[in-house]
Structure 1
Amino acid sequence: MSDDATSVPWRSPFLHVALASSLMGVMGVSLISPALPAVKQALALTDAQASLLLTAYALPGIFLAPVMGILADRYGRRAALVPSLVVYGISGGAIVFVHDFTSILVLRGIQGATGSTLVSLAVTLLGDRYTGQRRNQLIGLNGTVLSVGTAAYPLLGGALATVHWAAPFALYWVGVPVGLLALYVLEESGTGGESSSLDYFRDVVEAVPTREAALLYGAYVGMFIVLYGALLTALPFLLGETYGLSSFSVGLVLTTSSVMTAVTSSQNGRLAQLFTNWQLTGLGFVAYGVGLTGIWLAASPVQIAGAILFFGGGQGLLLPSLDSETSGLTGERFRGGVMSLRTVAIRIGQTIGPPLFTAAAAFVGYHPLLLVTGVVSVAAGGAAYVSASRE
C-alpha cells in the first residue's frame, strides 16, 4: 500500500488478524492485574506470591521470543502466529478448572511462552505490509486498539473476579477462534531453513545499528519495569490495602490510564510529524514520572485516577513510538527477529517489575517507592528528550 493513502483499511481481514492478535496478547496481564487481590485472598497468598501470576507469564518469553522470531522469519508469520494463539487460549482458559497454585503457575508459564510474541508478531505483520507515515498510522492504530483492550480488560477482569477469582481466565479461550482466523487469512511466507539459528541471529545483529538497537531495547526494559511494577502490581495492592477497593473498583481506576493511552496513541501519526520517535519517548517517560508523583500526592482513589491519566498518556507516547522505530531498524527479512528481541526486552521488564516492587515495598512501603520511581522517570525522560533534540 502506498504511503500517501489516508484511509484505514477497516475491512481488511489482514488488519483484523493483526489487531485481534494484539488484543489477545495484551489480555495476558491487564485482565488479571485487578484480580490479584481476589486471588491473594482466595488462595491465602502473600503479595509477592500473588504477583507471581504476572512473573510466571512474562518469564518464558525471555527465552522463547527469539525462537518465535526465527519461526516467523524462516517459516512465515502464519507458522508462528497460529499455534501461539491456539495454545495461548487453551492454557489460559484451562486455569478455570485448576485450583492448585503451582499448577496455575505452570499453565501461566505455558500461556506466557506462547503469548510472548503475539503483539510483536502483529506489529511485524503491519511493518511488512506498510511503510512510512502509513506504518506509523497503523502501528498507532494498533496501539489505540491495545489501549482500548487494556481499558476494557481491567473492568472485565475485576467484575468477573468479584464473582469468582478464576472467572477472568475463561476469556482466554477466545484465542482459539482468533488462531483459526489467522490460519485462514494469512499466507505462507518465510525464507526457508538454510541457515542455523546462530547464523540467523548473527545476521540480525549485523543488520541493525548496534547503538540505536541497544537504546531501544533498554527503553523497552525500563518502560515495562515501571508499567508492571508500579501500575499493574503496586497500585492494585495499594488501592486494596489502603482504600479497601474491590477488584472491580481497582479495575475502574486502572481503566482511566488505559483510556488516556488510547487517546494519546491514536494521535501518534500526527505527533510523528512534529517530533521524532526519540523525542516522543523522552516525553513519555516524563509523563510516567508526573503520574507516579501524582499518585504519591493523591489522598483518595479519585485523585489517584486523575494522576494516572498522565501515566496513561506517557504509555500512549512510548509504545507506538518505540514500536515504529524498532520496526524500521531493518528490512522484512529480519524484522521478525528484531521484533522478537523487542519481546525479550519487554519480558525482561515484565519479569523484573512485579517482584522488584513488591520486595521494595516490603521495606519502604508503596507510597515512597512510587515517588522515587516518578522522580527517576522524569529525570531519565528529560535527559532523553534533550539528547534527541540535539541530534
Structure 2
Amino acid sequence: MRTPVDDFQPGFAGRRSSVAGRNVTILFLSALTIMAGATISPALPAIEAYFADTPEAAILTRLVLTVPALFIAFCAPFAGLLADRYGRRKVAIVAILLYGVAGVSGVFADSLFTLLAGRALLGVAVAGVMTVATALVGDYFSGPARDRFMGQQAAFIGIGGIFFLTGGGLLAEFNWRAPFLVYAVAFALVPAILAFITDVHRPEALPKQEDRGLISGFFLTIPLAAVLLASVLNSLTFYLMPTQLPFHLKALGTNSPVLVGVAIGACTLASALFSFFYGHVRRRLDVSAVFALGFGFLAGGLALVAAAGSFAAILPASFLVGSGLGLIMPNLGSAAMAIAGEDNRGRVAGLLTASIFLGQFVSPLVSQPIAERTGYAAVFGLGAATLLMAALVALGLAGLRSRRQPA
C-alpha cells in the first residue's frame, strides 16, 4: 500500500539520516507553537505591574499572551492556501524569519500597545509555522504511522513547553523583558529546513481544476466541522491555565514566577507523556472515544483546580489537565489529516490551526469578566462543566459508531 511519502522519493530522502533530520526538523517547527505563548506566561503579572498606569491594563496584559492567537486564526487558512499552491518549504522559511524578528521585538517595546503589535506579527508567523508543520505530517505519513508521529509531535511540543515555561519563569525573575530573547532560537531552524525539508506535495502535479480558492468547491464536511468545533472548545477551556492560573495562584498566596512556571510545567509534562502513547491509545479506541477520554481528563483537572486551596493542590490538578490535552491535541491533527485530501491538506491544516487559536484568543475575553465578578475558582469550575458535557457527547458518538460497525 502506498503512503504519501512513497509518491515522492528524492535521492537523499531514502537515507536514514536524512529522514531522521527531516522528522526532527518537523518536531522543532512544531515546538515553536508552544514557545509563542509559554515562554512569557510566567512574566504576565510583572508585565501588568510595569504597565499598571495603562487603562485596562489587566485585560491588555492577558491579550499579550493571546493576541497572537487572533492573527493565527485569521491568517492560518491563507497560510494553508499558500502552502498548497507554492509549497511548504517556502512558507516555512518566511514564517520562521518573521517569527524570530517579531518575538524578539518584545525586548524593546515601550508600551503595551507596541508590545501587542509585535505579538500580532508573531501570530502571523505562527500561522505559517503550525500550518506547515501539520501539513508536512500529512504529506509524509499515513494511517498508524501518522497517529504515532502525531503523538510524538504533541509530546515534543509538551517537552518544549516544560523548558520554555521553566526558562521563562527563571528569566522573568530577572526582568519581564528577558523571556522575549528566547524567540531568537527560531533563526537556527532555517538551515535545517533548507537541508531536510523537500516538498512531497507538488502543486504542479495536481490537475488544474483542483487548484481552488480558499474554500470554493470545498471540503467542510460534517466530520471536519466537528473536529474544528472540538479544537475551539479545547483551546477555549484549556487556555484558562496559562491566562488565569498565574493570577489564581497569586490569589492563593503564590507570587513566584518560577512556581507559576512549575505549575503550568506539570501540565505540559503530562501532555508530553500522554501524547507519546497516543498511537497505542488510538489503536484501541476510535476518534470519538479518544475525544471523550481526553475531555473527561480535562474536565476533572479543571474541577480540581477550582477546588484547590494551595499551590500543592494545583500540581496534581495541572497534571490531569495535561493528560487530557496530551490525548486531544494529536487526535485533532490525526483526525483532520485523515479527512483531508492531497489537494487541500494545507488548507485543512490551516483551518485546524485557525480553530485552535481562535479558542485561545477568545478564552481570556470570556473568562476575565467572569473572574472579575465571581473569582478564579468559578471560572475553572465553569470550564470543567463545559468539558464534561463535551466528553458525554463524544462518548455518545463513540457508542453510536460502535453499534453501526458489523460484528
For Structure 1 versus Structure 2, the TM-score category normalised by the shorter chain is: over 0.9
Matched, 1:310 2:320: yes
CA deviation vs aligned residue, 1:41-65 (integer Å, no higher than 9, x gap): 2222633121010232111122211
Q: Which residue type is aligned with residue 203 of structure 2?
A: T
Distance 1:138 1:200 in 2: 27
Are residues 1:191 and 2:203 paired? yes
**Counterparts of 1:186-265 in structure 2 under 5 Å?**
186-188=197-199, 190-192=202-204, 199-203=213-217, 205-206=218-219, 210-228=221-239, 230-265=240-275
**Pairing 1:341–2:351 present:** yes
Q: Give 1:250 deviation, angstroms.
A: 0.2
Counterpart position of 2:376: 366
Structure 2 letter corresponding to 1:22: S
How far the C-alpha of 1:387 sits from its partner, in A, is 1.7
Aligned residues: 382
Partner residue, 1:165:
176
Deviation of 1:187 (Å)? 2.3
Q: Please tell me whether residue 17 in structure 1 is matched to residue 48 in structure 2.
A: no
- Matched residue, 1:6: none
Are the equivalent residues in 2 in contact too, given 1:48–1:359 (CA < 8 A)? no
| Alignment equivalent of 2:396, drawn from 373, 386, 390 | 386
- CA distance in 2 between counterparts of 1:84 and 1:74 reads 16
Please name the residue that 2:12 is paired with.
none
Structure 1 residue aligned with 2:11:
none
**Displacement, 1:274?**
0.7
Residue in structure 1 matching 2:101, options 68, 77, 90: 90
Instruction: Check the 8 A contact 1:26/1:119 in 2, yes or no.
Output: no
Note if contact 1:117-1:343 (Cα within 8 Å) is conserved in structure 2: no
Pairwise mapping of residues 4-83 of structure 1 onto structure 2 (< 5 A)? Answer: 12-44=20-52, 46-83=57-94
The corresponding residue for 1:114 is 125
Equivalence for 1:176:
187
Amino acid in the other structure paired with 1:335: R
Tell me by how many angstroms 1:383 deviates. Answer: 2.1
Match for residue 323 of structure 1?
A: 333
**Separation in 1, partners of 2:210, 2:343:** 15
Amino acid of the structure 1 residue aligned with 2:216: R
SS at match of 2:391: helix
Deviations 1:94-123 (A, max 9, x none): 221222221111111001111124233212
Deviation at 1:200, TM superposition (A): 4.6
Deviation of residue 155 (structure 1)? 0.7
Identical residues among aligned pairs (%): 27
Q: Report the Cα distance in structure 2 between the residues aligned to 1:71 and 1:120, rounded to whole angstroms.
A: 10
What runs of 5+ residues in structure 1 fail to find an aligned partner? Answer: 4-8
Q: What RMSD in Å do the two structures reach over aligned CA positions? A: 2.0
Q: Is the 8 A contact 1:47 1:237 kept in 2?
A: no
Q: Is the 8 A contact 1:83 1:179 kept in 2?
A: no
